[in-house]
Amino acid sequence: MTSIDVWSSRFLSYEQMYSDDIRQQSFSGWPFREGCNCTPEKMAKAGFVHCPGENEPDVVCCFFCLIELDCWEPDNDPWFEHMKRSPNCCFLNLNKDFTELTVAEYCHMEKDRLKVYFRKVCHTKMAFFRDEIGHKLESLKSQLASL
């Protein structure tokens, strides 16, 4: 599965992730619990969804800006870590609870979320094509050199 496929499947389900409770449910296998600063409750409040990898049990992704973070320490503050790495995340900059959004505000946020998603997909595809072109160019150079 490519990273684009992963983002696509996440993005489609992430529209439900405006709810802290639904985000928190994704942390069933989260390694940090009581006595930690990065509890499932705090991670969900900061916009994160738990999406562990095979060898990375602490990978999280913001449902809105799609930033992925891992290597959490028990004393890490989820809100601070999110803000430090993605200060322009519209979810972080939301000044009210999601349940208080007007329809117009929600539509505006969804538009921003779509822009983030499409930008990420486009950048990934462009990087893939650049790599493919680079490999093809090297192959042609070696073929020309052997003539």
- What confidence score (pLDDT) does residue 97 get? 79
Separation between Cα atoms, residue 65 and residue 113, nearest integer Å: 7
**pTM reported for the whole predicted model:** 0.75
Number of domains in the chain: 1
CATH number at residue 118: 1.10.1170.10
- Per the structure, the complete domain to which residue 94 belongs is given by 3-145
pLDDT at 39: 95
Q: Calculate ∠ Cα 113-22-77, nearest 5°.
A: 75
Contact 7, 128 (CB under 8 A): no
Q: What is the pLDDT along the chain (147 residues), one digit of tens a residue?
A: 555 555 555 555 666 788 888 899 999 889 898 889 999 999 999 999 998 888 888 999 998 999 999 999 999 999 999 999 999 999 988 878 778 888 998 888 889 988 988 888 898 899 999 999 999 999 999 888 887
Q: Which of 39, 46, 50 is nearest to 89 (CA)?
A: 46
